[in-house]
Amino acid sequence: MPELPEVEVVRRGVARWVVGRTVRSARFLHPRVTRRHVAGPEDAVARTEGLVVADAVRRGKYLWMPLATPAGDAVDAMVVHLGMSGQLLVEAADAPAEKHLRAVWEFDDDREDLRFVDQRTFGGIAVVPLVGVADGGLGGRGESVDAPWSRFVPAPVAHIARDPLDHAFDDAQFAKRLREKTTGVKRALLDQTLVSGVGNIYADEALWRAKLHYARPTRSTTKAQAAALLAGLREVMTAALAAGGTSFDSLYVNVNGASGYFDRSLAVYGQEGRPCPRCGSLVRRDAFMNRSSFSCPGCQPVPRTAHW
């Protein structure tokens, strides 16, 4: 599942190639692609065509495009969830259709189309209202902060917390809420209402950087440990962004179809049996929430009061 860096790479591509263009036509080619749009594909088309893609915005793993009238009045937002294999691609209008093409947007400037390709059909599109939220709006990456939609998010995203790269992320509040939970620290990181955009890969990498075991009880984390954890998250996500994301699955690509290569720089995730880059201990793998968790037994010893 793409995490924050992968979704941000896609967002930047959409911002470069699509923002400011007017949708001439929208076509949804598979019934599952609009399953999150309750009113159905015809309604999604009607609420998209003739509108301007005003911005490309992300909160955590969620990506959306505010839609506006030509006069600049915000109307709705088109939310794109990539799922496990979703791809947003910018393609020439006459390029052959991809095998798993699910949606196509054409624009009135007759330049490149935007296409949604999804082999496993876990992703989807919904056109939804923008709503105000208690934390003051977006504050995330790349949005136009003076635009009429800057204090709003799509309704399905309203419960999602800000992410560690958000300029308005509250470090002190994160530490406080982390200590209020009664779980292991990695489970808390995967809770998108505490901090968004973090999945299995970057949780493991950040915990390794902070020298914390994934089963450390959240109630026992100190302010210094919470700060180290946030620093680890920001460090690994920033590095992954620079590398174009992590492409364990060849289906993750940017809008031009290129894969990321941060997997070459991972310290522990997927490195079972290999030496830790810091201390040389062999990386271990444990079963975790129907997945795997990777850590270093030397740098990240199991705490005496582990919360499994």
The catalytic site residues sit at: 2-3, 61, 291
Distance of CA 75 to the CA centre of its chain: 23
- Which of 229, 275, 258, 291 is CA-nearest to residue 88? 258
CA 76-80-85 angle, 5° bins: 170
CB-based contact 209:294 (threshold 8 Å): no
* Paired tokens of 247: 């492409």
Rounded to 10 deg, the angle between the 171-180 and 223-242 helix axes is 120
CB-based contact 185:221 (threshold 8 Å): yes
CA 114-118-120 angle, 5° bins: 175
- Which of 287, 275, 294, 88 is CA-nearest to residue 201? 294
Neighbour count for residue 214 (Cβ, 10 Å) = 24
CB-based contact 154:64 (threshold 8 Å): yes
